[in-house]
Amino acid sequence: MDTYVVDTHALAWFVSEDKRLSPTATQILCQAETGEVQVLIPTLVLAELTHIAQKKKIAVTIETLLEKINQGDGFNIVSFDFPIFQTMLQLPENWDIHDRIIAATASYYQAILITRDEMLRDSYEVKTVWD
């Protein structure tokens, strides 16, 4: 089974059905709902989504987000633990700390990162998908 890690924007746009989510990302996240693929959600992504939802920067409540995640058979929440921290230390120091943690999660689980972030997509440190 293919394994992915989702970043904050991609998950926010999926839950809010935002048109900015790419067709490929949409397909993968829909497959996670039916359990065809595994999508790992870093706890950092949940924290960021909670923050932007509470500030009303997205048209989704945290309750809606959690309901969507719980409905999908292929969604799993993963913690930022010591092995991921150690992996993060191997990534470029000039990256934003949030990007480093999310990319480290993908690297640690040997997963493909679902992201629109061009810096991450252009790097060789982590495999990504978007278009």
pLDDT tens-place string over residues 56-76: 888 888 888 888 888 879 999
Distance, CA of 107 to CA of 53 (rounded, Å): 27
Topology (CATH) of 3-129: Rossmann fold (3.40.50)
Find the mean pLDDT for residues 71-92.
96
pTM of the predicted structure, to 2 decimals: 0.94
pLDDT for residue 130 is more than 90: yes
DSSP-H helix ranges across the chain:
8-15, 23-33, 43-54, 62-71, 82-88, 97-108, 118-122
More confident residue, 117 or 54: 117
Domain ranges of the chain: 3-129
Distance, CA of 42 to CA of 97 (rounded, Å): 13
Exposure string of 1-33, with b = 16+ CB inside 10 Å and e = fewer, is: eeebbbbbbbbbbbbbeeeebbeebbebbebbb
- Could you tell me the two tokens for 106? 């993908």
**Angle between the 62-71 and 8-15 helix axes, to the nearest 10 degrees?**
90
